[in-house]
Structure 1
Amino acid sequence: MVRSEIPAPDASRPVTLAVDESARGSVALRRRLTDEGAEVFELITNGTFVMDTLETTTERLLARAALAHPPATGTWSVTVGGLGLGFTVRELLADPRITHVDVVELEPAVVAWVREGLVPDTAGVLDDPRVRAHVDDVRRWLPERPDASTDAILLDVDNGPDFLVHMANTEVYEPPFLAVVKRALRPGGVVAVWSATRSTSLRRRLERTFAGCEEVHRVVEREGRDLDYYLYVARRS
């Protein structure tokens, strides 16, 4: 993992703060300035924009969409597939009902950057005693969990089934893995999946697996453009 010296922000171009290379390619953390002079941090994978700190509405909504369904015990144990820049985890930790959060992130550099506080808005989220971070592939980690071991599973490992950064992540949205998700959930447990595009196929797969699925649509304004994002939420009966 390469850390760059941090020069003064330049509004004309992004500055790379850190970059890491793995068998999956490159992952980088960049910083830029808006026209108003505000700092924005960006996560870039293989040269493709993944997310930033300018607009985090739907990352936070992913947590709230699950927490809207009360757990049977009154408290929450949650599994998050995909740390990103940490905003979903931060939103979870704001809820006093949260007792435990397992965060499963494939890229060790991403975990290190958030843990080191390179993203100021989420500095400290991985230091919360309720959080355990796992550097692993959620496709391999979750099948090893006990049955009925978590109240909610939040999946934001890629851009959704129809706009993938890593083609191997197709498996996350397929029926065999969704069956694993269902098995790991406690009765009444919730799965919420983030998608950059509407996915009728994902909704139908969740409906078949869980006997129901809610599609949550949000229009987000990003630098003068309206973008459509989707969450797919299902509950184990």
Structure 2
Amino acid sequence: MTASYDTPVVIDRRQGPYGEVVLRRHGALLQIIANGCFLMDTSDGRSERLLVDAAYDALDGRARPDVLIGGLGVGFSLAHAAADPRWGRITVVERESAVIDWHLHGPLSAISAEALADPRTEIVDNDLVAYVNEKSATYDALCLDIDNGPGWTVTEGNEGLYSKAGLASCARVLRPGGVLAVWSAQPSPEFEGSLRNAGFQRVRTEEIPVARGVPDVVHLAVRAG
């Protein structure tokens, strides 16, 4: 029996180091579900594109900046960055091997194949929290899209990334004057305060209009020079 167009169909289901991750098709859309929590789909991509563009604009014309993208997701952020020749090195850290595989060999390659073939692109199979703790002064921009927001994390382990110590690690991977851009499903004045308390400057929030409900946002902050 063929499923109806409106019935989600599971394409792949895997058990990863942080729980279950599922790729499913719902009509024309591809969706990623983690531990039963909807993460993202291929319906739009405005949020992911604004995340990358807002980070670039906040760099004030820095030539060929290197960007670290936290979370591969459905690939919109990577594809948008790779389509912009102004970016230098593009590194994406993704902790779910299944997600990487869906891009390399699965249906999400329709979004990311060209970007993955770009010589500027590197995919790192690692947890972002661990990765930023290991690096220092490597990137001009850090774009985070690994949770539904600082107050709505996918796993408990991500909460530390938005703490004072976690934000210090984010600052450490940025060169002086580098930009931290964090996607969130809703505004967070508390997180703005955390960014300032962690020593970031020019903290602000950009809204992303949505069809209904509270706008998505991108939190922006600049590492002190």
- Would you call these one fold, judging by a TM-score over 0.5? yes
What is the Cα deviation at residue 121 of structure 1? 2.6
Is contact 2:20-2:35 (8 Å) kept? Answer: yes
Unaligned 5+ runs, structure 1:
1-6, 34-38
Say whether 1:89 aligns with 2:78: yes
1:185 aligned partner: 174
State whether residues 71 and 151 of structure 1, in contact with CA within 8 Å, keep that contact through their aligned partners in structure 2.
Answer: no
| Contact persistence 2:16–2:97 (CA under 8 A) | no
Alignment partner of 1:196 is 2:190 = no
Letter in 2 for 1:189: G
Deviations 1:186-213 (A, max 9, x none): 1221110011122122111112221331
Contact 1:216–1:230 (CA<8 Å) still a contact in 2? yes
Whole-Å separation in 2 of the counterparts to 1:226 and 1:123: 33
Q: Residue 213 of structure 1 aligns to a residue in which SS?
A: strand
Unaligned runs of 5+ in 2: none
- Residue 115 of structure 2 is matched in structure 1 by 125
- 1:19 counterpart = 2:19: no
The worse-fitting range, judged by mean Cα deviation, of 131-140 and 119-128 is: 119-128
Secondary structure in structure 2 of the residue aligned to 1:109: helix
Instruction: Confirm or deny that 1:233 pairs with 2:220.
Output: yes
Q: Which amino acid aligns with 2:21?
A: V
Q: Which residue of 1 aligns with 2:205?
A: 215
Bigger strand fraction: 1
Take 1:126 and 1:59, find their aligned partners in 2: how far apart are those partners? 17
Counterpart CA distance in 1 for 2:60 and 2:220 is 15
Q: Give the alignment partner of residue 111 of structure 1, picking from 87, 97, 100.
A: 100
Q: Match for 1:168 among 157, 160, 178?
A: 157
Residue 47 (structure 1) shift: 1.3
Cα distance in 2 for residues equivalent to 1:90 and 1:9 = 31
SS in structure 2 of the partner of residue 113 of structure 1:
helix
What displacement does 1:124 show? 3.4
Q: CA deviation at 1:228?
A: 1.9
Deviation at 1:143, TM superposition (A): 1.8
Of structures 1 and 2, the one scoring higher in RCO (CA 8 A, sep 6+) is 2
**CA 1:16 to 1:170, structure 2 compared with 1: closer, same or farther past 3 Å?**
same
Aligned to 1:4: none
Match of 2:140, SS state, is strand
CA shift in 2, pair 1:74/1:8, >3 Å: farther
Q: What is the percent sequence identity of the aligned residues?
A: 36
Contact 1:77–1:98 at 8 Å: present in 2 too?
yes
RMSD: 1.8
- Partner of 1:124, secondary structure, is helix
Aligned residues: 222
